[in-house]
Amino acid sequence: MTKINNHTNQPAEPQLGVIAGTVPSYTVEGAMKRLGGCSRSHIYDLVSKGVLRKGKIGGRTLIRGVDELIEAAFEEGAEA
């Protein structure tokens, strides 16, 4: 069952392949959850710094690069 965000009535699940190929794309709310509950402003700060990428499909903003950021954090932690 798809969990619906009550504020926007949009799925918070990854939207696979919506922006490009098979790269997972998340709604802003989904990206916030995936990154451990960080704030909306933190997501947009990461977009402005080029860490995450943003795209729009209709009225929906989708965020890419979340999984790559998580993988990079795990790799960096393994090296330490």
**Domain range spanning residue 10?**
4-79
Number of domains, the chain = 1
User: What is the model's pTM?
Assistant: 0.66
Per-residue pLDDT reduced to its tens digit, 46-80: 999 999 999 988 889 999 999 999 999 888 776 65
Q: How far is CA 3 from CA 10, 34, 56, in A?
A: 9, 14, 21
Q: What stretches of 1-80 adopt beta strand conformation (E)? A: 4-5, 10-11, 25-27, 53-57, 60-64
The CATH number that applies at residue 60 is: 1.10.10
